[in-house]
A and B are shown apart, each in its own frame.
Chain A
Amino acid sequence: MSTNTEIAVKTADLTRAFGRFVAVDRVSIEVHKGEIFGFLGANGAGKTTVIRVLCGLLRPTSGSATVAGFDVYTRSEQIKRNIGYMSQKFSLYEDLTVGENIDFYGGIYGLTQGQIRKKEEEVFTSFGLGTYARTLTASLPLGFKQRLALGCAMLHDPPILFLDEPTSGVDPKARREFWDIIHQTSEKGTTILVTTHFMEEAEYCHRILIMDAGRIIALDTPHNLKKLRGKESVQDVFVTLVRKEIERRREDEDKAAGRKETEGRKETEGRHG
């Protein structure tokens, strides 16, 4: 079996609702091993919710999903051992030093002290954090905080990485460097699911999923998306698609409203007749 046909993450009609609000609406995807899979969409499009459901932070409302072959409903323990997660907030302890953060995250993944020391070296050298080992995390520049958060999420060598808007608030240069790290990681066989609202970042992904109001409105390689729509950039594709989606929704609503109106009229007529 070739590596790129192996499935790392699979969902079928995955739905998550908060009360009456449907944040994720029947999303079906297959993410291949070693792939960089991007979620593109405006704020509130449902990207973060998908990631959180897959990580076991939220329960799905309906539909199915497997991560690393494990069912999200029943095997969340096994899933947790196979994933790394980096949240939008760069969840680090600001009052601890860089080294202490690494110690802690290594520790909760059950790494031995020896393993932690080794991973720490790796993170320091490959992410350029070495000189900051004893620096308070609060005083790190944002770009370095972001790298540290990624480093902490990868200490246990997870085969699948979930990155939720890893580059928000970071300057373009640091963003570019961060994507270099993502690419290197992916080349080592790690599957990466990443959400973003930066259009140019979408170009760095192998495949992108464009989401709006919880639904998939497009899923393809950046190249194909541009070619099929005849656009210059993913940005243009995105804008056209979302605009179309919004129009479609408005039509639906109009239709629904129209139906109601006619129904209402019929009712009154019926009463009169």
Chain B
Amino acid sequence: MVEARTFRVALGAANRTSGRANGGTLAGRASDRGLAGAAIRAFAGILGSRAGNASRASNPTRGRILAIARKEFFHIIYDFRTLLIIFMMPVLQLIIFGYALNMEIQRVDMAVVDFSRSTESRKLVEEFSGSKFFRPFYYQEPVSGLDDLFKSRRARAAMVIPADFAPKLRASPNAPVQFLIDASDANAATFVRMYCTQVLFNYNEDRGIKTLIPFDVRTAILFNPNLKSSYFFVPGIIAMILVMISCLLTSITITREKETGTMEQILVSPVRPHEIILGKVLPYVALAFADASVVVFMGLVVFRVPFEGSFLLLVALTTLYIITALSLGLTISTRVRTQQVAMMFAQVATVLPTIMLSGLVFPIASMPKLLQYVTYIIPARYYLLIVRGIFLKGSQLVHLLEPTLFLAVMALVLLITSVRRFSMNLER
């Protein structure tokens, strides 16, 4: 509590008077909020200004929704620490997923044991050092010493060129070369193997040798020709951030009011359940949007992720996804009593499933059948299809009808559940 106040004071410009700071004197408490205050007011004005709103009297439902939305908005902006976390989290995740969790492997240390010592073998090694995938180095010791190199991780791959490499190559198009690949990381090993094939292919082509296979296999990689993982992760992070923020924050809004007793005060007023729910959802939609914008901006500017699709479509379908996540949070918070339990539920329902089961990191197609069925209830699954489609493929709404429909149904069901589950009294 005390800490939170320190932050508020540190915020300074907002000039929110703290009783402690004023030493209890009456004078000076009514100090103005200053410039930041004015900005806040202006923003709050969108949600119905202090200056008067004539339409309020004519539409009490709208007035009540706006009153709740405005209050909720103040809760958000005055909680400086939470706000900081909300905007730092996507940045951190982008850095982790975009840089650290890089699926591409570059400059693999490769030990080369060259028994051939010929022009041909030197050319082969040059081909490897010329590619950005490998960093070959000559290794003079006996082949048995390679084991130690792998164990100490000084090499992740090794190439053994036999002594008869050059004559064999001259005599026939086939000359065997041995490759040893550290497969303690199976995923990485697969990549290394692919790269080896690629380099050998280039080597053969340089020597003017066509493969003997009668048809020419060439793979065209679409939408992400460089197979950059940041292209894959940046849109994915939007999906994760949105569901985490939306679900987590809304799940504690109602439970917080139950804990502090303010819910009682709301319940004795003529407010209706849907007014409370809508009033609480609105400001968080705006917040989630602001957060998504940070990720999109960073993705486009810092990671240079291409954006092929329609921005309007992205905004529209993102709204749908946000509403789904918010409704999930609200549904949780209408069922539980304390903030802690609500947060736990929200985390269990969002973080892990989104990371593991939505296709964010692991492809759904490679999951066991049973888990594949589970993925159908995870909103991020659909949104990932949407956001990756729009970003990388320039998908239009017609291409995304199925995931959109699934999300819409989910949002509707959850929203209705949360309104119906919302108890208008203190009974369970």
Contact = CB atoms under 8 A, between A and B. Distances in A.
A108 B266 contact: yes
B92 to A, nearest CB: 26
Contact of B262 (A92, A97, A100): A92
A98 B235 CA distance: 43
Contacts of B75: 93, 95-96
Interface string A83-107: 1010111011111110010011111
Interface string B60-87: 1001101110110011001100000000
B187 interface: no
Interface in B9-33: 16-20, 24, 26-27, 29-33
A52 B269 contact: no
A114 interface: yes
Interface stretch (A53-61, A167-175, A184-192): A53-61
B265 A112 contact: no
A109 B57 contact: no
A105 B424 CA distance: 17
Q: Decide if the interface of chain B is mainly helix, strand, loop or mixed.
A: loop
Contact of B264 (A91, A107, A112, A113): A91
A105 B265 contact: yes
Contact of B67 (A91, A107, A131, A152): A107
Contacts of B79: 95
Contacts of B27: 131
Interface stretch (B48-56, B144-152, B310-318): B48-56
B91 interface: no
A131 B30 contact: yes
Given A131-B26, A136-B16, A108 B271 contact: yes
B167 to A, nearest CB: 83
Contacts of B64: 107-108, 110
B365 to A, nearest CB: 47
Given A52-B426, A91-B260, A139-B19, A132 B29 contact: yes
Given A81-B270, A132-B30, A91 B52 contact: no
Given A132-B29, A134-B17, A89 B70 contact: no
Contacts of B424: 56
Contacts of B266: 108
B270 A77 contact: yes
Interface in A105-134: 105-114, 117, 131-134
Contacts of A206: none
B29 A135 contact: yes
A93 B425 contact: no
Interface string B259-280: 0111011111111000000000
B53 A108 contact: no
Contacts of A77: 270
Contacts of B51: 113
Contact of A89 (B74, B260, B426): B260
Interface in A25-60: 52, 55-59
Contacts, number: 137
Contacts of A135: 17, 19, 29-30
Contact of A113 (B17, B24, B56, B261): B56
A117 B49 CA distance: 12
Contacts of B269: 80, 105, 108-109
A81 B272 CA distance: 12
Contact of A58 (B33, B260, B427): B427
B266 to A, nearest CB: 6
B63 to A, nearest CB: 6
A116 to B, nearest CB: 9
Contacts of A17: none
- Taking each of B16, B266, B268, B271, which has the highest tally of chain A beta carbons within 10 Å of its own beta carbon? B268
A112 B63 contact: yes
A34 B71 CA distance: 33
A87 B265 contact: yes
A140 interface: yes
Contacts of B270: 77, 80-81, 108-110
B103 to A, nearest CB: 43
A249 B20 CA distance: 51
Give 4 closest A-B pairs by Cβ, nearest first.
A107-B67, A139-B19, A89-B261, A91-B265
20 contacts: A57-B425, A57-B426, A80-B268, A93-B71, A95-B78, A104-B70, A105-B265, A105-B269, A110-B270, A112-B56, A113-B48, A113-B51, A113-B56, A132-B30, A135-B17, A136-B17, A136-B18, A138-B5, A139-B18, A139-B20
Given A93-B75, A132-B29, 16 more contacts: A58-B427, A80-B268, A83-B268, A88-B261, A89-B264, A94-B260, A95-B79, A96-B71, A103-B71, A107-B70, A108-B64, A108-B271, A112-B63, A113-B49, A136-B16, A139-B20
